[in-house]
């Protein structure tokens, strides 16, 4: 008993407890950027074999991202509504609107712009932006979480599961991809917010054998429902998402234990600048390559996707380093005291979207 307690409170375990969430977030943001690189390079025939992989991992990246967001929500949801609106929702909505305007204007000035590049800016609260919808959705999930905080966990989680399963199976659709995804992934945020203490206690104890087992189970189940059965059967995608979340959290634990992979953990602390900036170089690359009729050498697509992903992440980190601490209002709300979490208006900048 004493040895177990000592092990649980050792510096290594405490470090893993503090770092695995950031490591998992780092993994999730890499997959998000990779996905957007794929769908844009696919427009110019440069996605290569990455196209199938990126779409296959649809049950992995966003369930993991929303689950990690939910893990950090309980303390926020216990606060008064006014504080939730001030410290969380105001910041999210401001950043969402700001970066939608910047990205929409940027894309409208590129060669071969989307036909509604500027007109769509007036509809960003009705039709969420396809690159930045996570910020808007996270604000909505936070509000719904606060409003339902006193309801029984089984009722809220069960309702979210049914809603997510119905939308994931395509039985219901809003006709808008970001809205459909909002309903599809609600379950993972709710589940994590209600089970956060248990999850944060159990996950750091995971060993490599657990992670490998969960990873294999996810791959086998995914392959079966994609190529043998049908992943649109109701409740299949939430089930795949749960396996993916468990494997992703386990990978976060393993990554946090490997010094050579500290960069992944660092990315997990910078998800906000990466998330809002990455679409700029990615959409620019696709626009500049459109209608070029270039005869690319074989295997170019294999390199182009990870290269564009790397460039987008490095550019975001460079802007973060250049701007953070110098200019307010780019990656945070411009008036610090309005969103301050501490006493006397001491603001805390939110560099992670989760």
pLDDT of residue 16: 47
Mean pLDDT across the stretch 142-150? 97
Mean pLDDT across the stretch 164-175? 96
Query: What b/e sequence results for 165-202 when a residue is b if at least 16 CB atoms lie within 10 Å of its CB, and e otherwise?
Result: bbbbbeeeeeeeebbbbbbbbbbbbbbbbbbbeebbee
- Answer yes or no: is 3 within a domain: no
With H, G, I as helix, E, B as strand and everything else as coil, classify residue 148.
Answer: coil
- pLDDT(7) > 70: no
Q: How many whole angstroms separate alpha carbon 60 and alpha carbon 70?
A: 16
pLDDT of residue 342: 55
Question: Confidence band (pLDDT; 50, 70, 90) for 222?
Answer: very high
- Answer yes or no: is 17 within a domain: no
- Answer yes or no: is 106 within a domain: yes
- Answer yes or no: is 203 within a domain: yes
How open is the CA angle 310-315-316, to the nearest 5 degrees? Answer: 100
- pLDDT(1) > 70: no
Each residue's pLDDT tens digit, 326-335: 889 999 999 8
What is the DSSP secondary-structure string of 320-339?
HHHHTTT-TTSSS-SSGGGG
For residues 194 and 266, the answer to whether their CB atoms sit within 8 Å is: no
Among all chains, which residue has been given the structure tokens 């679409």? 279
**Residues spanned by the domain of 222:** 23-342
pLDDT of residue 351: 61
**Higher per-residue pLDDT: 7 or 320:** 320
Mean pLDDT across the stretch 225-233? 84
pLDDT of residue 291: 79
With H, G, I as helix, E, B as strand and everything else as coil, classify residue 70.
Answer: helix
Q: How far is CA 36 from CA 196, 273, 292, 312, 316, in A?
A: 29, 15, 21, 10, 15
What is the DSSP secondary-structure string of 73-113?
-HHHHTS-HHHHIIIIIHHHHHHHHHHHHHHHHHHHHSSS-
pLDDT of residue 294: 79
- Answer yes or no: is 264 within a domain: yes
Q: Taking Cα atoms as reference points, which of 235, 253, 263 lies closest to residue 59?
A: 235
- Answer yes or no: is 50 within a domain: yes
| Torsion angle in degrees (nearest 10) through CA of 301, 302, 305, 306 | -160
**Higher per-residue pLDDT: 46 or 347:** 46
- pLDDT(277) > 70: yes
Q: How many whole angstroms separate alpha carbon 140 and alpha carbon 157?
A: 16
Each residue's pLDDT tens digit, 74-120: 999 999 999 999 999 999 999 999 999 999 999 999 988 888 778 88
Q: If you average pLDDT over every residue of the chain, what do you get?
A: 89
- Answer yes or no: is 64 within a domain: yes
Output phi, psi for 38, to 5 deg. Answer: -65, -50
**Higher per-residue pLDDT: 336 or 216:** 216
For residues 317 and 32, the answer to whether their CB atoms sit within 8 Å is: no
Q: Taking Cα atoms as reference points, which of 174, 181, 182, 180 lies closest to residue 144?
A: 182
Provide the domain count of the chain: 1
Q: 75 Cβ partners below 8 Å, 6+ apart?
A: none
Q: Where are the beta strands (DSSP E) in 81-221?
A: none
- pLDDT(347) > 60: no
Question: Confidence band (pLDDT; 50, 70, 90) for 289?
Answer: very high
- Answer yes or no: is 6 within a domain: no
Percentage of residues in the chain with pLDDT exceeding 90?
Answer: 75
- pLDDT(15) > 70: no
């Amino acid at each position: 008993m004493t040895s177990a307690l000592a092990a649980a409170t050792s510096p290594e375990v405490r470090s893993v407890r503090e770092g695995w969430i950031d490591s998992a977030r780092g993994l999730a943001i890499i997959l998000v950027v990779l996905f957007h690189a794929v769908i844009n390079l696919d427009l110019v025939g440069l996605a290569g074999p990455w196209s199938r992989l990126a779409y296959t991992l649809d049950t992995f990246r966003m369930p993991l991202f929303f689950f990690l967001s939910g893990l950090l929500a309980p303390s926020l949801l216990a606060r008064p509504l006014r504080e939730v609106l001030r410290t969380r929702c105001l910041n999210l909505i401001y950043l969402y609107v700001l970066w939608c305007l910047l990205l929409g204007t940027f894309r409208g000035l590129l060669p071969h712009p989307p036909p509604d590049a500027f007109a769509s800016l007036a509809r960003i609260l009705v039709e969420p932006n396809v690159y930045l919808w996570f910020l808007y959705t996270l604000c909505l999930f936070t509000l719904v979480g606060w409003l339902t905080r006193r309801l029984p966990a089984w009722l809220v989680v069960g309702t979210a599961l049914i809603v997510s399963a119905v939308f994931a199976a395509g039985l219901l659709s809003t006709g808008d991809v970001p809205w459909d995804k909002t309903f599809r992934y609600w379950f993972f945020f709710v589940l994590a917010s209600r089970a956060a203490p248990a999850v944060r206690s159990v996950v750091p104890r995971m060993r490599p054998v657990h992670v490998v087992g969960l990873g294999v189970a996810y791959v086998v189940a995914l392959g079966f429902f994609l190529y043998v059965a049908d992943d649109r059967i109701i409740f299949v995608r939430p089930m795949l998402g749960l396996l993916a979340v468990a494997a992703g959290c386990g990978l976060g634990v393993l990554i946090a234990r490997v010094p050579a992979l500290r960069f992944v953990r660092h990315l997990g602390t910078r998800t906000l600048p990466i998330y809002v900036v990455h679409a700029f170089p990615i959409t620019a690359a696709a626009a500049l390559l459109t209608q070029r009729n270039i005869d690319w050498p074989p295997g170019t697509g294999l390199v182009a996707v990870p290269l564009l992903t790397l460039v987008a992440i490095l550019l975001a980190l460079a802007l973060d380093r250049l701007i953070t601490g110098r200019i307010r209002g780019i990656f945070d709300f411009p008036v610090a005291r309005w969103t301050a979490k501490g006493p006397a208006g001491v603001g805390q900048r939110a560099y992670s979207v989760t």
